[in-house]
């Protein structure tokens, strides 16, 4: 069986396996054996911005999954802190995906309508609490120079996967808000930064924006509205969904959502107010790969002599495979087996044979993957 897919070449031949042992009875195999295992993993985040002085509405443009990637299924909000879902397809058995709101300054919401879905999937939405808007948003804009960008507060969100996912994509959609009077305007929105991958600060090049950033600028693993966009605007910030790609084997990642504010017009110096915002919509996207396996071997063997068979693993796509573990069992009729020769990555423990293929700079063991 294929016990876990992680990453690697589109096609790998298992090569020649030779094993020595005593064969008591019966044929070695009943002919070729084939199994297929589809692993679809996904994680992404989506945001968009709208234009009301109250809570902003949905993004101006719906997202479309990057070619060859699949989104996580519909999420369930268990509380203001946690949202859960599973991997799509056959990978659901790997376990639960958890999204956790790390900040008391924000709340997780699930509107349950198409307005807050992404690619037809209901996703978590994170936004500042009203208390956060009042306590941190108002001082963030009141008395500040026109067109000065200010950071009001920070809100954290962490997604944890049950198994490592290679090169996932996060879809991020930010919904902004605005306040205005006849002579003054303010804007509020989220900047978003990837602050950790697998519990550590991202290394150089670990976060990219291959599909563009809409109205946002991207630097230092952070999406920020640039000064040129904010200047003198009296409408709420808007942006299409932005996709960020994380590189390598990812088991968790954290986002910091920065509640930002600016006074964009105030010729009379009046008292202004901050605005609630539509917040952050997010989901995870993963590249699916369909692996199949075939095994051939002799129908009989000589007692005490070597037994030779071949195992071939094929990736049927649509994305390149990033590595895998093949687990095979020595037939019950073979006693005291020992591995005579095998391709790199193969080990024999008792009657269990494991052969693994890992991505560059990574090692892999049964039911686990780790970076080196």
The per-residue pLDDT for range 89-103, each reduced to its tens digit, is: 878 888 999 999 999
Mean pLDDT along residues 322-351: 80
Top pLDDT among 235 and 142 is at 142
Rounded Cα distance between 160 and 264, Å, is: 38
Contact 185/264 with Cβ under 8 angstroms? yes
Opening angle at CA 322, ends 317 and 325, nearest 5 = 100
Note the pLDDT of residue 318: 75
Label residue 230 by pLDDT band (50, 70, 90).
Answer: very high
Note the pLDDT of residue 54: 39
List the beta bridge partners of residue 3. Answer: none
Q: Which residues contact 284 (CB under 8 A, 6 or more apart)?
A: 42, 43, 44, 45, 71, 72, 97, 159, 161, 165, 168, 169, 170, 171
| Most confident of the following: 82-86, 329-333, 340-344 | 82-86
Q: Is the pLDDT of residue 58 over 50?
A: no
Note the pLDDT of residue 208: 96
Top pLDDT among 346 and 228 is at 228
Note the pLDDT of residue 320: 65
Q: What is the pLDDT of residues 263-304, one digit of tens each?
A: 999 999 999 999 999 888 999 998 877 778 888 888 888 888
Top pLDDT among 143 and 328 is at 143
| Most confident of the following: 8-17, 41-50, 151-160, 290-299 | 151-160
Contact 279/126 with Cβ under 8 angstroms? yes
Rounded Cα distance between 247 and 205, Å, is: 8
Structure tokens that stand for 124 in this block:
């978590």
Q: Is the pLDDT of residue 4 over 60?
A: no
Top pLDDT among 195 and 248 is at 195
Mean pLDDT along residues 209-235: 94
Contact 160/101 with Cβ under 8 angstroms? no
Top pLDDT among 103 and 39 is at 103
Note the pLDDT of residue 321: 67
Average pLDDT over the chain reads 78
């Amino acid at each position: 069986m294929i016990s876990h897919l992680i990453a690697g070449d589109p096609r790998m031949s298992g090569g020649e396996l030779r094993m020595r042992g005593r064969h008591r009875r019966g044929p070695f195999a009943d002919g070729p054996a084939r199994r297929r295992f589809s692993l679809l993993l996904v994680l992404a985040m989506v945001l968009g911005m709208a234009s009301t002085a109250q809570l902003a509405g949905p993004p101006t443009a719906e997202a479309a999954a990057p070619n060859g990637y699949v989104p996580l299924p519909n999420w369930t909000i268990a509380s203001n802190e946690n949202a859960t879902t599973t991997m799509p397809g056959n990978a659901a058995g790997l376990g639960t995906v958890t999204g956790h709101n790390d900040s008391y300054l924000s709340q997780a919401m699930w509107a349950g309508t198409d307005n807050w879905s992404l690619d037809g999937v209901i996703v978590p939405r994170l936004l500042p609490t009203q208390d956060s808007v009042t306590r941190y948003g108002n001082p963030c804009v009141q008395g500040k120079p026109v067109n000065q960008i200010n950071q009001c507060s920070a809100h954290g969100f962490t997604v944890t996967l049950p198994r490592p996912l290679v090169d996932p994509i996060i879809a991020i959609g930010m919904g902004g808000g605005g306040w205005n009077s006849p002579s003054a305007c303010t804007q509020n929105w989220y900047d978003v930064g990837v602050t950790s991958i697998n519990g550590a600060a991202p290394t150089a090049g670990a976060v990219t924006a291959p599909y563009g950033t809409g109205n946002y600028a991207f630097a230092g693993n952070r999406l920020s509205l640039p000064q040129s966009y904010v200047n003198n605007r009296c409408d709420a910030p808007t942006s299409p969904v932005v996709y960020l790609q994380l590189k390598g084997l990812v088991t968790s990642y954290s986002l910091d959502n920065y509640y930002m504010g600016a006074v964009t017009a105030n010729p009379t110096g009046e008292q202004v107010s901050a605005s609630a915002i539509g917040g952050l919509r997010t989901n995870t996207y993963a590249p699916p790969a369909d692996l199949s396996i075939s095994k051939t071997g002799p129908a009989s063997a000589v007692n005490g002599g070597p037994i030779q068979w071949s195992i071939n693993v094929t990736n049927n796509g649509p994305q390149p495979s990033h590595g895998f573990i093949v687990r095979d069992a020595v037939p019950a009729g073979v006693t005291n087996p020992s591995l005579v020769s095998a391709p790199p990555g193969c080990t024999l423990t008792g009657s269990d044979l494991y052969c693994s293929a890992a991505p560059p700079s990574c090692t892999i063991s049964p039911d686990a993957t780790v970076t080196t």
